[in-house]
Amino acid sequence: MSKLRTAVVLARTRWGWRPRTRAALERYQQRRIRAHLRFLRARSPFYADVRTLAEAPVMDKQTMMANFDALNTVGVRRAEAEALALAAERSRDFTPMLGNVAVGLSSGTSGHRGLFLVSPADRDAWAGTVLALTLPPGLVGHRIALFLRANNALYESVRSRLVDFRYFDLTVPVGQHLADLVEYRPTILVAPPSVLRLLAGAGSRLGGLQRVYSVAEVLDEGEAESLARAFGQQHLHQLYQCTEGFLARTCEHGVLHLNEQHVLIEPEWLDERRFTPVVTDFSRRTQPIVRYRLNDVLVARRGPCPCGSVLRAIERIEGRADDTLLLDGRVVFADLVSRAVIAADGFTEYAVVQTGPDRLQVQLDELAAAPAVGVELDRLWQRLGLAAPAVEFVPYAADPGVKRRRVRRDWQGTADAAVRDRRVGDRPSGPGGAVR
Ligand SMILES: [Zn+2]
């Protein structure tokens, strides 16, 4: 990676020009978009004739995947990228590259699976932005503990003299990481809320923590306060980062603000406060994100934030509220289940519902894909060292509710709380044997 490129973006983002009025922000956005469209007209066959943003069609995952070959600016074909990404997913090797372009797979909340391409320049810019916007005031010497599904090459790229990283693999029971985590003495902890819940009991043993970031999943209401307390923080911080970009983060008051200096977010209003974001990233060049509609629902904040930022403030994010499953006495994260399901082909819509202690219902819009999905799930149970639950395949039933959950637990185990506690302290028997 280019440390210089990252450092330039970091400095510009952290100490550079900041819009003081909404009008100044919007003028800046329009200028960046014009320049970006100029680039895309020259490099992306799909955007060859698009002169203004209004002329660009609104995209979703399906249209983006259908036009993948024409959209990207580096001539990568969907078939080759997909084959590479799937092979990597199965081998748990998370650095598949086509030339110098990294290829990733996303599960998301709609459609089947998405593919994304990231060039070194995209990645360095991303790293600079993330560091600039997420590190506490004392910039240097941070130790960041990351609880993530995969050690994404993106995150790896942020490692530098400024910060050290330790990656904690979510396919391993969280309790097993606890001793390492305490010993690492992180200054920043980054994890999905389902993991923060499991770690909360150990919060008092993590004395040097300066920030705790919740990522990847939606927080339940009121949960931000209780988690902040558990980790001895004034506020729980949040990063709203997905395949489609780095979309929002909390200010020093713990309020989420859209990252409007880097992306344009056109709201499609659902009512007075709730909207679906349509995202245009000014700088993602390899795989353009132009008027891309996310499936999340954002709730605008009433009134201005005390921090005084002109960036739109968000009360909360709805959607992506997948549940964790409880199988064989263990917590299984929704993301792992989604990834396993989408590794199979032949369907578009799906849902996974836990209906009993060892029963899963898998809904598919194409039941012919059931055997292939079954194989992928078996691989997952094997990898996690779990007794395979009974899996029943049924036709997909669209959920009219506002919150779409791909992975849901309808069965409420009475041992729920007990299981959670046990997971933090010691470890139930699982793969690898000995309980310490
Ligand atoms: Zn604020």
Distances, alpha carbon 307 to alpha carbons 73, 281, 294, 304, in Å: 39, 24, 27, 8
Tell me, what's the pLDDT at 109? 52
Q: Which residues of 203-222 are buried (b: 16+ CB within 10 A; e: fewer)?
A: beebeebebbbbbbbbbeee
pLDDT, tens digit (0-9, with 9 covering 90-100), for 363-379: 998 999 999 999 999 99
Q: Higher-confidence residue: 337 or 91? A: 337
Closest by CA to 298, choosing from 280, 283, 279, 282, is 279
| 79: helix, strand or coil | helix
Residue 326: how many other CB atoms lie within 10 Å:
20
Tell me, what's the pLDDT at 57? 96
Give the sign of the dihedral formed by CA 352, CA 355, CA 357, CA 361. negative
* pLDDT band (50, 70, 90) for residue 112: low
Tell me, what's the pLDDT at 160? 65
Residues 259-279 have a mean pLDDT of: 90
Cβ within 8 Å of residue 279, ≥6 positions away = 244, 245, 247, 263, 264, 265, 266, 289, 291, 292, 293, 294
Q: How far is the CA of 258 from the centre of ligand 1 (A)?
A: 10
Give the sign of the dihedral formed by CA 214, CA 216, CA 222, CA 223. negative
Q: How far is the CA of 304 from the centre of ligand 1 (A)?
A: 8
Tell me, what's the pLDDT at 434? 27
Q: Which helix (H) or strand (E) holds 180?
A: helix 174-184
Contact 200, 420 (CB under 8 A): no
Among 12-16, 252-256, 280-284, the least confident range? 12-16
Tell me, what's the pLDDT at 14? 73
Q: How far is the CA of 277 from the centre of ligand 1 (A)?
A: 19
* pLDDT band (50, 70, 90) for residue 184: very high
Predicted confidence (pLDDT) at residue 152 exceeds the cutoff of 60: no
Give dist(CA 68, CA 79) in Å, integer. Answer: 10
**Environment class of residue 308 by beta-carbon count within 10 Å: exposed (0-12), middle (13-18) or buried (19+)?**
exposed
Predicted confidence (pLDDT) at residue 1 exceeds the cutoff of 80: no
Closest by CA to 275, choosing from 301, 238, 239, is 301
pLDDT, tens digit (0-9, with 9 covering 90-100), for 387-434: 999 999 999 876 544 345 688 888 776 444 333 333 322 223 333 222
Domains of the chain, with CATH numbers? 1-320 (3.40.50.12780), 325-424 (3.30.300)
* pLDDT band (50, 70, 90) for residue 103: confident
Tell me, what's the pLDDT at 403? 44
Q: How far is the CA of 261 from the centre of ligand 1 (A)?
A: 14
Residues 295-324 have a mean pLDDT of: 82
| 393: helix, strand or coil | strand
Alpha-carbon dihedral of residues 264, 270, 272, 275, nearest 10 degrees?
A: -30
Residues 143-160 have a mean pLDDT of: 67
Q: How far is the CA of 254 from the centre of ligand 1 (A)?
A: 7
Contact 259, 133 (CB under 8 A): yes
Tell me, what's the pLDDT at 111? 55
Give the sign of the dihedral formed by CA 200, CA 202, CA 207, CA 208. negative
Task: Give the β-pairing of 263-269 and 274-281.
Answer: antiparallel
Most confident of 20-24, 96-100, 157-161, 246-250: 20-24
Predicted confidence (pLDDT) at residue 82 exceeds the cutoff of 80: yes
Q: Higher-confidence residue: 318 or 221? A: 318
Q: Higher-confidence residue: 72 or 154? A: 72
Q: How far is the CA of 240 from the centre of ligand 1 (A)?
A: 15
Residue 72: how many other CB atoms lie within 10 Å:
26
Q: How far is the CA of 306 from the centre of ligand 1 (A)?
A: 6
Tell me, what's the pLDDT at 430? 31
Q: How far is the CA of 299 from the centre of ligand 1 (A)?
A: 15
Residue 189: how many other CB atoms lie within 10 Å:
27
First to last CA, the chain: 39
Predicted confidence (pLDDT) at residue 69 exceeds the cutoff of 70: yes
